[in-house]
Amino acid sequence: MMKSMIRYKVKPDRAEENQRFVENVYQELRRTSPPDFHYATFKLKDGVSFVHIVSRDTPENPLSQSPAFQAFQANIQDRCEEPPLAVELEEVGSYQFFSH
């Protein structure tokens, strides 16, 4: 199982645009329902920092085939004040973290 966290900070005037891109990704994920894939995005209190957490049980990342995610990534560097930084996570423990 692969788990990672991606954190970045967008320019203040691009935060709403970034959030719309993220929302489009979730709309697509709800339509396609990739198996064994868990994904969450959080906007921090400053309104411009975003954190994405992903957990997947398959070697293939469903986002790599996602048109909505490709649109999100297309100009990410232009939207960012701090570029995305991805780190792999090692789970120490969790309790129903991705349950509904």
User: For residue 54, what are its two tokens?
Assistant: 């992903």
Q: How far apart are CA 73 and CA 26, in angstroms?
A: 14
Residue segments in the chain with a per-residue pLDDT below the cut of 70: 98-100
**Residue 33 is which amino acid?**
S
Q: Compute the 3-state secondary structure of the chain and give helix, strand, coil in percent, each to the nearest 5.
A: 35, 35, 30
Domains of the chain: 2-88 (3.30.70.100)
Residue-wise pLDDT for 21-39, tens only, equals 999 999 999 999 999 999 9
Q: Does residue 76 sit in helix, strand or coil?
A: helix
The model's pTM is 0.91
Q: How far apart are CA 63 and CA 85, in angstroms?
A: 17
